Amino acid sequence: MNFKAIIFDLDGVICSTDEYHYRAWKRMADGMHIPFDRTINNRLRGVSRMESLEIILEKYEGPALTEADKQRLAQQKNDLYRESLKEMTTDDLSEEVWDTLETLRGKGLKLAIGSSSKNTPFILERIGLGGYFDAVSDGNNITHSKPDPEVFLKAAEMLGMAPADCLVVEDAVSGVQAGHAGGMRVAAVGDAALNGAGDWNMKSIRELIHIVG
C-alpha cells in the first residue's frame, strides 16, 4: 500500500497504561461504593474520561450527582492516574515498538499520534518519545472522542496529509471505527485484531513494516 503517514493510537499500541487506568478508576469507584471490575473496565477502552465516568455510574445507587460532582470525580480519577504515571519510564516502551517506529521513519513515512487521552504529552515524555512524532492530536485538541474520527482527521490535517494517505494503528474497536469513519485504512492489534475489526489484523506491531511495503 502506498501510505505516506501512519497515525498511532497511544495506549495499547505504543505503550500500555491499562493497569494504571484500572487502578485509578477502581479507587474512585470503591470510594463511591460502585461495583467496578475488569469487565466494566474493558468498556472504557478508547473512550473519553467523562464518557468512561458515565459508564461507571450506571451502577451508582447513591444520591443524584450534579455536573460539578461528576467533574470532581473525573478529576479525582485523573489525579490518581497521573500520580501513578510518574512510575512510567523508557522501559515502558518496548524494543519492538521502538524498532518498528525507526524502520517506518527510515522509509520516509510521517508518524503521528491520535489519542483521546489528555495525558498524551506527559506519557510520551515519560517513555522517551517527547517531541518524536511529527504531529500529536489528542484529548487536548478535540471535542469528540472515538468512534468519532475527529482525532485522526486533525492528525492528518496537522501532517498536511489527505486521510486516504494515512494508515491508522488501533487496538480498540471504537478506534478502528473512528479511522474508517475518517476515510482511513486501519491496521488493528490487540482486542480490535481479535475481533477482526481492522483492514489488517496484526499479531505484532512489527507487521506494519510489511503492510506499508
Give me the domains of the chain, ranges plus CATH numbers: 5-15+89-212 (3.40.50.1000), 18-85 (1.10.150.240)
**Three-state SS letters, 117-161:** CCCHHHHHHHCCCCCCCCEEECCCCCCCCCCCCHHHHHHHHHHCC
Per-residue model confidence as pLDDT tens digits over 123-132: 999 999 999 9
| Other CB atoms within 10 Å distance of the CB of residue 144 | 12
pLDDT over 90 at 34, yes or no: yes
d(C-alpha 14, C-alpha 125), whole Å: 13
Give SS3 for 169: strand
Nearest-10 crossing angle of helices 49-56, 18-31: 50
d(C-alpha 210, C-alpha 213), whole Å: 5
Residues designated as active site? 9, 11
Q: What percent of the chain has pLDDT over 70?
A: 99
CB 114 within 8 A of CB 168: yes
Sole residue written with cell 469487565: 39
CB 127 within 8 A of CB 88: yes
Mean pLDDT computed over every residue of the chain: 95
pTM metric for this prediction? 0.84
Which value, to the nearest 10 degrees, does the dihedral of the CA atoms of residues 48, 51, 53, 54 take? -170
pLDDT of residue 1: 66
pLDDT over 70 at 66, yes or no: yes
- Show the cell assigned to 136: 500529536
d(C-alpha 128, C-alpha 118), whole Å: 18
